[in-house]
Amino acid sequence: MKIVLFISVLLFTLSSNSQIINTEAFRKATDTTGWIGTVSLNLSLSKNTKSKFSIKNKIHIQYKTKKSIFLFVNDIGFERIDNEDFINKGVQHLRYNYKINQRISGEFFLQNQYNALYKIDFRELAGAGIRLKLTKSEKYKMYFGVLLMYEYEKTKSDYILYHKDWRNSNYLSFSFYFNKNIALISTTYFQPLINQLADYRIAHQSALKFKIAKNLAYKMSVNYTYDRFPVLGVPQEEYHISNGIVYSFK
């Protein structure tokens, strides 16, 4: 069993949330079968002129067999200062991959999401499709996914709205390994409505990793999201830049 512990040391940050969850970032490339993952839980309580309570929980678990990969992600954050909620967000994602041959895999996923910042009370997703491996090289890997998903959503701004829609969830992901110490990983999602292609969401994430010791690496990542028709009062665009350190051990 290989466990990877991610210690986030944010040196520079702009914005912080996302409406599209990049599950490619949670996939762990490994040739061995079995379990791999991370678990973290942070609780804090402080009081001076105001009382502050926060909780953050992140769970990533992956189980691999010869043909199948099961992936579960749980990420929640809550913060309250006195009696006012400042952060209230969470996502639970379950994904199953079945390897049909060396190039094609089938995918199925379920997702539950809420985010007060984006005025999303809940967003339930269920989808299925195929994942194509476009390269054979171990130095350069590229994948393309085409999925159909059903979205049930409740949003709250000046008034409450319910949405029941079918969307495409398409993604292009690549990993380029310059050498054993430097890697670039990038993923782009495009999610249009089936019956209204002008209503779409885009999400992009790129990360550059530099290995600085045997089990230690420096990571810089850039995230960008765009929603053509967001909830009233929510901006269309968002970006997030972060720097951090990754420590891994067996």
pLDDT in tens, 187-220: 999 999 999 999 999 999 999 988 888 778 888 8
3-state secondary structure of 24: helix
- pLDDT-wise least confident of 8-22, 96-110, 123-137, 236-250: 8-22
Given a cut of 80, whether residue 13 has pLDDT beyond it is no
In this predicted structure, what is the pLDDT of residue 48? Answer: 72
- pLDDT-wise least confident of 8-17, 51-60, 102-111, 165-174: 8-17
C-alpha 73/C-alpha 63 separation (Å) is 12
In this predicted structure, what is the pLDDT of residue 16? Answer: 40
Q: What is the total residue count of the chain?
A: 250
In this predicted structure, what is the pLDDT of residue 217? Answer: 82
Question: Which residue's entry shows tokens 């830049």?
Answer: 241
Task: Taking residues 225-238, report their average pLDDT.
Answer: 91
CATH number for the region 2-249 comes to 2.40.160.40
The pLDDT confidence band at residue 25, using thresholds 50, 70 and 90, is low
| Average model confidence (pLDDT) across the chain | 84
In this predicted structure, what is the pLDDT of residue 158? Answer: 82
In this predicted structure, what is the pLDDT of residue 18? Answer: 57
**Core vs surface per residue 211-228: b (16+ CB within 10 A) or e:** beeeeebebebebbbbbe
pLDDT in tens, 60-116: 889 999 899 999 999 898 888 777 767 788 999 999 999 999 999 999 999 999 988
C-alpha 38/C-alpha 93 separation (Å) is 15
Domain spans of the chain, in order of start? 2-249
In this predicted structure, what is the pLDDT of residue 186? Answer: 94
- pLDDT-wise least confident of 13-17, 44-48, 51-55, 216-220: 13-17
The pLDDT confidence band at residue 242, using thresholds 50, 70 and 90, is confident
